[in-house]
Amino acid sequence: MRFDVITLFPDFFESPLQSGLLGKALKKGIATVYLTNPRDFTTDKHHRVDDEPYGGGVGMLLKPEPLFAAVESLPVLPSRQVLLMTPQGETMSQGIFQAFARECQQLVIICGHYEGVDERILHLVTREISLGDFVLTCGEIPALTLINGVTRLLPGTVGKEASLKAESFEDGLLDYPQYTRPPVFREWAVPEVLLSGNHAAIAQWRQQQQLQRTRERRPDLYQQWLARSQQHGGVAE
């Protein structure tokens, strides 16, 4: 997987791209990240990448020329998406990460700034992506989230691939509670079923906990899971 990040602040990515599983995956060549600064494609002596909006208004907009030139300077792999990080986009989800990891060879990620981008930049974009219903100071934060979320799904990033199938959102439910040693900590005990060695009982307990936790914390996800379960002839609980 190749990631091309169009960013005014390449230094933002320096430490995160070297840390943890993401850093190891990049070192192993499971994914590659290339950073391109639109300022390198400006033609004026001040290297301006922003300007005032037509019609007035507060703040500045990213100009189209440097962004077009930056994206058009990149190689084009057979299966690629050009993404704009913007609060107006569709919210990131595990499903989106899975689709990108499964279907794409290249993701070009444009990091927004200031009050937004010139609308004509959307002619470059195949998909608009948001981290959530809030506004951040820069598009680098959601870009890094997307790189992390997609890369961890690529073969070889996570040591035990089975762990990817038994975590939150993989089956539409939140994860079940998990415990480790000691069996009792400050009078809080590990549920007896987890100490029983009865794998069937443990599996049943975990599924019940997933359903309960999702119903209480994310009723929207629970209703979606319930609808899918009923559609396929399943039983809610």
* Alpha-carbon distance values, 70 to 2, 83, 94, 204 (Å): 16, 14, 29, 53
Average predicted confidence (pLDDT) for the chain? 92
pLDDT for the residue 163: 57
Tokens 């189209």 — which residue?
64
Positive/negative CA dihedral, 93, 95, 99, 101: positive
Copy the structure tokens of residue 4: 């091309």
Contact 125, 110 (CB under 8 A): yes
pLDDT for the residue 236: 47
Distance of alpha carbon 234 from alpha carbon 237, whole angstroms: 9
The string of pLDDT tens digits covering residues 94-123 is 999 999 999 999 999 999 987 889 999 999
SS3 content of the chain, % helix, strand, coil (to 5): 40, 15, 40
> 165: pLDDT confidence band, cut at 50, 70 and 90?
low
Distance of alpha carbon 64 from alpha carbon 230, whole angstroms: 48
Distance of alpha carbon 67 from alpha carbon 89, whole angstroms: 18
Contact 5, 35 (CB under 8 A): yes
Tell me what percent of the residues of the chain surpass a pLDDT of 90: 84
- All structural domains of the chain, each given as residue ranges with its CATH number in brackets, are 2-151 (3.40.1280.10), 167-231 (1.10.1270.20)
- End-to-end CA distance of the chain: give it in Å, rounded: 39
Distance of alpha carbon 69 from alpha carbon 90, whole angstroms: 26
Contact 174, 214 (CB under 8 A): yes
Copy the structure tokens of residue 32: 């590659």
The string of pLDDT tens digits covering residues 10-40 is 999 999 999 999 999 999 999 999 999 999 9
**pLDDT higher than threshold 80 for residue 152:** yes
The mean pLDDT of 212-223, rounded to a whole number, is 95
Tally of CB atoms within 10 A around 155: 8
pLDDT for the residue 73: 98
Which residues have CB under 8 Å from 65's CB, separation 6+?
41, 42, 43
Closest CA to 191 of 216, 208, 211, 168: 208
Positive/negative CA dihedral, 196, 199, 205, 206: positive
